[in-house]
Structure 1
């Protein structure tokens, strides 16, 4: 049985196999990020800290993009869905970050939640088709290296953990909410 902490986060399993442990930590990091963004209005999602232009809204859109990139595009070789398919990434490589300022909190949370749900389904599909060692269908690098699902999940844990540190600082500046 999964334990849920006081912030609504599923505790990663203490003693489980590799797949359950890795996915447990990824879901914990996702839930930590959701907690940091919960209940904020547009102003809260646009807040910055110090000289950084990073916002929680930008992080929501960026993490949705990263989920889509690794689990759909790289792992399964799929084409970009909306809204990513209409972006000229060569002209604006940070579109995901700054375009969030024009989106409502509901749009930002919806994009992120929908993408996370899709990513979970794509991980299950890949696990059934080769397990954690399943190679990506579309290598992200030009040197021929092909990451495994295991590498992608570990990378996503790192991506969320790094941005959760940023989210801690921004959320505290908005309303004083602190926590792990």
Structure 2
């Protein structure tokens, strides 16, 4: 919703200089986060990260809007399938630093992740064209 109606150039705009953060970067980051938590950690899939060389690198904050959206839609669909197939919220995956994490914990973490970055996206959008997302949605 925050990105609706923006051009590729606007999606790639660095709206809060000197930060390199862009809206397309946020979308790509969320694709990378979906992939990391649901596929790599919870499902134990041996899939490479899409853009990052290692977790924490730039973690998806690069790339075009089209590539970012394609990746995000694909990863969200895969995440939903993984959650639907899980035996329950107490099922666990293995995180390299945190150890065992439950699906419940991952889902709560993802709510936090989306909420945090949605706030960032709203600030970036307002800096691009002055559009504010209504608070009553």
Partner of 1:72: 39
User: Does the aligned pair in 1 maintain the 2:32–2:59 contact within 8 Å?
Assistant: no
Partner of 2:7: 41
Q: By percentage of residues, which structure has more strand?
A: 2
TM-score with structure 2 length normalisation?
0.86
| Alignment of 1:61 onto 2:28 | yes
Taking the aligned partners of 2:92 and 2:4, their CA distance within structure 1 comes to: 35
4+ aligned runs moved over 2 Å, structure 1: 86-90
Q: By percentage of residues, which structure has more helix?
A: 1
Q: Which has the larger radius of gyration?
A: 1
| Gaps in structure 2 of 5+ consecutive residues | none
| Gaps in structure 1 of 5+ consecutive residues | 1-34
* 1:149 CA drift (Å): 0.3
Partner of 2:68: 108
Q: How many positions carry a matched residue from both structures?
A: 133
Taking the aligned partners of 2:5 and 2:52, their CA distance within structure 1 comes to: 29
Q: 1:82-136 CA distances to partner (integer Å, 9 max, x unpaired)?
A: x62x85338x8116213x1xx2x3222111111111111111111xx2x111111
2:60 to 96, 121, 128: 96
1:132 to 78, 85, 89: 89
Taking the aligned partners of 2:74 and 2:37, their CA distance within structure 1 comes to: 15
